[in-house]
Amino acid sequence: MSILRGARILLGITGGVAAHKSVDLASKLVQQGATVDVVLTDAARNFLGPAGLQAITRRPVYGSVFEPWTADFAGHITLGEESDLLIVAPATVNVVAELALGLAPDMLTTAALASTAPLLIAPAMEDTMFRHPAMQQNLETLRARGAMVVGPESGRLASGEQGIGRMSEPATIVGAARKILGRNGILQGRRIVVTAGGTREALDPVRYLGNRSTGLMGYAIAQSAIDAGAAVTLVSGPTSLDTPYGAERIDVQTAVEMKEAVTEAVNGADVIIMSAAVADYRPNAVRSEKIKKSELGATLSLDLVTNPDIIASIGHDGLIKIGFAAETSNLVEHAQRKLREKGLHLVVANNAEQAIGSRDNQVTLVWPNGDVDQLPLMPKSDVAELVIERVGTLLAG
């Protein structure tokens, strides 16, 4: 379950070309379970109307600060007080200035002044406008009050010029919203290292030994840790997945590279969660040129050597170590042996054939005291949330 489930989000859309992207943003927030109230400024209505947003949110779209009050709705007061998070996307130069100065000419800015919820701003404008000293000073004023500023990004702008000023993508803004809402979670102030994906052991410049791991489980764990307020370092093998917003990602290829990255990353960390599918062996020698089938004949023999055991080789006082065991038989028995031999605090065991490449996972939690928790098949995001809850319990002693 996303941390956005049940959250009340006030989404302010202002008058910029990027306003069309906020329709997708509203949809993504709703899909993750948030209740979204939308305020369209007068300028925003030049770019889009309320009908589509009403259909997506199943709620009224607000505009005028003079909309009638009722027994259950006190206009900007209700919108501000009942919100868990205020998002302004796109945030134009004008609305950023109004928010920084505490001006309240419309429904959005009056609701912002009536709210104690955190503020998330996604600027969108031309490059020269974004770089203007007045704009930068206003952003710094808002940051000093605790606002989070996401973007803008570089690329082609509405004018046709290239520069910085594009509104961040909706998925990025949703990630930032999750980070804000989770910052007081059970892992607040904790540093978590997560490994994810498979490794690739080169045979020659174009071939490698690898596995079918997609990294979905590790990336879900990293996101859940961020949702719980942790500072996350994600050591990742090759994958096409997007980095969870707020995670520090370190890309590696081989098991040896992963060991070096993890050894450095765990300095000062509270927890290491080793969910990566690390190759057990690597070629003893890597060919400098592509191996030719015509030179080798019908068979190819490889001389392999063992890779380092990463999680068994690291540790410091107080570091909680959690490992994954991807097995095809005797799941609990293999997990218990791994638990003992590597000095782990928890092993998350799963059937490799079922889990690899799937969006779902059925895991068994194996504990040092002999307890075994068999969980049902569920989305990997839900598995990740349960693992992070257990991490919180371990850290609490």
38 and 77 co-located in one domain: yes
CA angle, 387 then 389 then 391, to 5°: 70
The residue from 134, 149, 182 where one domain ends is: 182
pLDDT score, position 19: 94
Active site residue 350: no
The residue from 123, 152, 182 where one domain ends is: 182
59 and 131 co-located in one domain: yes
pLDDT score, position 10: 97
CATH of the domain at 61: 3.40.50.1950
CATH of the domain at 341: 3.40.50.10300
Looking at the structure of the chain, the number of domains it has is: 2
Strands 35-40 and 61-62: parallel
User: From the CB of residue 269, how many other CB atoms can be counted at a distance below 10 Å?
Assistant: 21
Query: Within a domain: residue 45?
Result: yes
pLDDT score, position 206: 87
Q: Which of the residues 46, 94, 184, 211 is marked catalytic? A: 211
> Cα–Cα distance between 244 and 232 in angstroms, integer?
9
Q: Which amino acid is at 9?
A: I
pLDDT score, position 214: 87
Query: Within a domain: residue 1?
Result: no
Residue 338 CA neighbour count, 13 Å, CB half: 24
210 and 62 co-located in one domain: no
What range does the domain containing 380 cover? 191-395
176 and 277 co-located in one domain: no
The encoded tokens of residue 201 equal 């052991």
pLDDT score, position 387: 93
The residue from 155, 182, 209 where one domain ends is: 182
pLDDT score, position 1: 62
> Cα–Cα distance between 144 and 85 in angstroms, integer?
17
> Cα–Cα distance between 254 and 251 in angstroms, integer?
10
- The pTM score is 0.91
Query: Within a domain: residue 3?
Result: no
pLDDT score, position 357: 67
Q: Which of 151, 150, 170, 154 is nearest to 162 (CA)?
A: 154
Phi-psi region of 155 (alpha: psi -120 to 50; beta: other; left: phi over 0): left
102 and 159 co-located in one domain: yes
349 and 276 co-located in one domain: yes
3-state helix, strand, coil in the chain (%, to 5): 35, 25, 40
Question: pLDDT 10s per residue in the chain (397 long)?
Answer: 689 999 999 999 999 999 999 999 999 999 999 999 999 999 999 999 999 999 999 999 999 888 888 888 888 898 999 999 999 999 999 999 999 999 999 999 999 999 999 999 999 999 999 999 999 999 999 999 999 999 899 998 888 889 999 999 999 999 999 999 999 999 999 999 999 999 999 988 888 988 888 899 999 999 999 999 999 999 999 999 999 999 999 999 999 999 999 999 999 999 999 999 898 899 998 888 888 877 777 787 888 999 999 988 888 888 999 998 877 777 788 888 888 888 899 999 887 777 676 778 888 899 988 888 888 989 999 999 999 999 999 998 7
Q: What H or E segment, with its residue span, contains residue 351?
A: strand 346-351
220 and 175 co-located in one domain: no
85 and 208 co-located in one domain: no
> Cα–Cα distance between 119 and 9 in angstroms, integer?
10
pLDDT score, position 339: 87
| Non-local CB neighbours of 71 within 8 Å, separated by 6+ positions | none
